Structure formats: C-alpha cells, structure tokens
Structure 1
Amino acid sequence: MGLIHPTALIDPAAELDSTVAVGAYSIVGPHVRVGAGTVIGPHCVVEGRTTIGEQNHFFQFSSIGAVSQDMSYAGEPTQLVIGDRNTVREFCTLNLGTMKEEGITRIGSDNWIMAYVHIAHDVRLGDHTVLANNATLAGHVHVGDWAVIGGLSGVHQFVKIGAHAMIGFQGHVSQDVPPFMTVDGNPLTARAVNLTGLRRRGFSDDRIRVVRQMHKLLYRSGLTLEQSVSAIAALSAEVPEAAGDVQVMLDFIASAKRGIVR
C-alpha cells in the first residue's frame, strides 16, 4: 500500500498486485484488475471491466476503460484487456468494447502509445506497435504486430493495418493497409516497402527481396488484384525462407473487407 498515493481513490473491490503504483488523485474502479509492476500515474481514471497485465506505465491524465463512444452501447458488461510492458503517455483514451464483436477491446504487449492517442471500442492492437501523438483508431480497427501509425493520423472504423506496415504523418486511412508497406497522404497512397523497419527487426536480404517483390506485384506491375495474389503465392516456392512472409500477405488480402490501399 506504500505505492498508493494517499489521495488516490481505489475501490475496495479492485484487484491490484502489491507492486502496483498509483499516483496522486487517480481513480481505480471496482472491476479493475492490475498486474505486477504496473504504474498508474497521477490524475488517471481506470474504470470499467478493465484487465491490465504486468509492467505497464500509464502517464498522467489518461482515461482507461471508459464506456465506448458508440451510441448503440447500452451498458453491457464489455471489457478492455491490456497486455504487458505497454507505455501509454499523457491524455490517452482507451475504451471498452461493444457487443458488435466479442465485447472486448484488446491491447497487446510492448506497445508504445504516445500522447493524445484514442483507441476506440473493439480495437485489436497487436504487439510492438508505435502510435505517435494524436493517432486515432476508430471502432473495430485491427492493427498487426510491429505496425507504426504516424502522428495526427486517423484510421476509419473496421480498417485493418497489416504487420510491419507504416502509416506516415497525417495519414487518412480508410482502406486496409497490407503488411510491410509504407503509406501516407490523403487520399492514402502506397509509397514503398517499410525497409527501415524490416531491417531493424532482423529481416534477411532474401526476405526483404521477397517483400519488395510483393510490393512490385501489388503496385507496379499493372496486374489485377487476383493476378497479383497468384503471383505472390508463387514466391513461397522460389524463396522458402520467406514463405511465412508470403503467407502473412496472402492471409491479409483474403481477410480484407474494405479493399486494400492501391
């Protein structure tokens, strides 16, 4: 209890590990569970049916687990589930889910979420992502592992952003963004492969070569999407080391609902 500031209001029904720190004037509601080593800074509100893992750090003035900004929400017992080792900077808003999907907003682990980010209801955020200042994810957005979303970018509801993709500054994201690609602008345009990100994550030259070939087939070859998919599928046999990357792309395109950025 020495880690709980005396001005913090912790509901007796909340479940906090003994190593959780809570700053001055923060409020933690009755249905909240928080894992070991997590720090909740001053002036935060953590409410709703919110489960937070270990070693997270929430900076001051964040709102975690408030009800969704969905006018159809009628008080159902929905949830916010957050993984481990996430950093959530000042003035962020992470909302509960709705019953339109599984009723859960899911945040993975090791994410870097900068100031003023909004994560709406039913979002699924993967692991190791970066959301720069004022990035806004509307309801039901899915973001793959290692994706980067630039500052002041807006992501339309139900959009999917693939693993290792990068959204540039002030991106207007209204269609699905395939894995490994760098996109920006309004209207959104695919510019290139996220080479810097892939190299930082240890992609070999052969894997990068295949990713660049997938980009060429999708955006530079004049093929229809169906023709591009067939050509991409053939790359697995040519470079077995990159078969997993090819499958990531094929699975993403097969699941795209809003059409991919082209």
Structure 2
Amino acid sequence: MIHSSAVIAGNSIIEKGAIIGAHVRIGPFCHIQRNVEIGEGTIVLSHGVINGHTRIGRDNFIDRFCSLGEINQDLKYRGEPTRLEIGHRNQIGQKATFHRGTVQGAGVTTIGNDNIFLNQVHIGHDCVVGNAVEMGLGGVLAGHVEVDDHVCLGKLAAVHQFCILGQACEVMAGSCVVQDVPPFVLAEGNRCRPIEVNEAALLRWVEDPHLRLIIRQLYQRMYHCAEPIEVVREEIAYQQTEYSMLVCFEHFFARSKRGVIR
C-alpha cells in the first residue's frame, strides 16, 4: 500500500505488500521489499535496499546506498521471519548496514529515536540501540550489543558481541570494546579502558550539580579506590531513592555479564 502523497522515483522497485506512509520520499534505484513499512515523512535517498520484516518510523533520513533489514551474519540463521525496527527522527548515513535479529536472540534488532549514524555504520543482529545515540564514521556493533541512551561512539570504534554501553558513556575513536562500559564513563583504547568521567555528558544531561558530584564520586570509587562492584551498587541503591536518574547504573549492572572495563 502506497499513500497517495508519497513521492517515489520511477525506477525504484516497491514490492506488493510494502506499506509506504504519507509524504515519504524514495529516490532512484531503491528496492523496497514486501513486509517493509516506512512511516510518514521518511526520506530514502538513492540506491537503498530495505528488506525483511522491517518497520521504520516517522521522519527518518536514510542516505544513499544503505542496506536495512538484511539477512544477518549469523551462520545459525535459517530464514526465520525476524525483524528490524527503527523509531523516529533518526539520521542514517551512507552505506549503513542494519541487520535483522535471530531467533536465538530477541528476534529483533531495535533502534530508538533521534539517533545519528554517520556513514558506513554497521549494526549487527539483535542489537538494542536507545535514543539520542551518536555513532561516528565506520562505527561497528557486533551482534547482541546493547547501547543505552545518549551514548557516543567515535569513528571506527568497534564493540564486541554481547557488550553493553551504559547511558551517556563515550567510546573514543578507533577503540575496541570487549567488556561493558558503565554510564558516564569516557573510555578509549584497544582493548578499551576507562579514562575519566564523561564531563561533557554530565553537563549536557545532568542538571543537578550535586548529582553530578555523586556520579564523579561513583567513578572514583570504582576506578581509583578499587572498591568491589557490589559495594558500589549498594551505594547506588541507597542514593537512587533521592536521585532517580541513578537507576541507569543499577540497570547497567543488572545486565552486565561480560565484566566491566578496568
């Protein structure tokens, strides 16, 4: 079904069964397969391929030569109807590749809202990317990676499968992440290690000066006082009764399985 207000280049292929919303614009030489849904106001520039059971929300911008909803790079995949779901107002750069999920994972790769993905970004199967995330040129997420809100991943940085990037952390350019990065940590290197508190994110996302101080103290206790993680978690549980934003730390530690960067 193609909405009457959609504008589609004459040499693009829209398969029967695809749903194209109002005011969608699709450039030349695109191939939109059946089971794909593109929401209102989304723009797809030339040579884009969108397939699988893929749902794209409103007002996204998809640059040239992107491949979205492609068969995942998992040898266990046997053609199951797994999905890719993309939210609203995302900017997706040229030659990006987002893969659908697997039945061994969640069955879906999920992208939130208001994210910026620069050229040649790869997001593997079963990843979960939150909101207001920024991924630099050539950034790579292997399968099953979780990226929380407000994370910044530098150009050519790579994240190992099953890793977690906690809220508002930043991974510097060219880094390789093989363990989980806690919230509000600035990390760098191959393999990635903590450098300092992500002060830019603190100033941008945390209004309360006292809460910023608490987060800095948590970093000190984890990385300069060498306190056990369980002791730090107890302090977080106590503090979050007053500062609800600290729940992002508890949410991070509750999911962490690969260990935390040191």
SS at match of 1:51: strand
SS at match of 2:69: strand
> Could you tell me whether the CA contact under 8 Å between 1:211 and 1:245 is conserved in 2?
no
Match of 1:254 in 2: 254
Quick one: percent identity of the two aligned structures? 33
Match of 1:187 in 2: 191
SS at match of 2:244: helix
Stretch moving more, 181-190 or 37-46: 181-190
What runs of 5+ residues in structure 1 fail to find an aligned partner?
Answer: none
Shift of 1:223: 1.6
2:216 to 212, 215, 222: 212
Match of 1:105 in 2: 109
| 2:159 corresponds to 1:155 | yes
SS at match of 1:197: helix
C-alpha distance in 2 between matches for 1:168 and 1:68 = 27
C-alpha distance in 1 between matches for 2:135 and 2:53 = 24
Which residues of 2 match residues 227-238 of structure 1 at below 5 A?
A: 227-236=231-240
Question: Would you identify which runs of 4 or more consecutive aligned residues in structure 1 move more than 6 Å?
Answer: none
> Could you tell me whether the CA contact under 8 Å between 1:217 and 1:232 is conserved in 2?
no
| 2:174 corresponds to 1:177 | no
Shift of 1:76: 0.3
What runs of 5+ residues in structure 2 fail to find an aligned partner?
Answer: none
C-alpha distance in 2 between matches for 1:65 and 1:232 = 39
> Could you tell me whether the CA contact under 8 Å between 1:172 and 1:187 is conserved in 2?
yes
> Could you tell me whether the CA contact under 8 Å between 1:7 and 1:24 is conserved in 2?
yes
TM-score (norm 1): 0.95
C-alpha distance in 2 between matches for 1:209 and 1:179 = 14
1:74 to 72, 75, 78: 78
2:17 to 13, 18, 24: 13
AA of the residue aligned to 1:104: V
AA of the residue aligned to 1:256: S
Shift of 1:100: 1.1
TM-score (norm 2): 0.95
Provide Cα deviations, 1:238-260, integer angstroms capped at 9, x if missing partner.
xx2xx223322123112200001
C-alpha distance in 2 between matches for 1:56 and 1:114 = 14
C-alpha distance in 1 between matches for 2:106 and 2:36 = 19
SS at match of 1:65: strand
1:134 to 135, 138, 144: 138
Aligned length: 258
C-alpha distance in 2 between matches for 1:229 and 1:117 = 34
2:45 to 23, 41, 55: 41
C-alpha distance in 2 between matches for 1:54 and 1:130 = 19
C-alpha distance in 2 between matches for 1:200 and 1:234 = 24
C-alpha distance in 1 between matches for 2:240 and 2:34 = 51
| 2:244 corresponds to 1:244 | yes
> Could you tell me whether the CA contact under 8 Å between 1:23 and 1:43 is conserved in 2?
yes
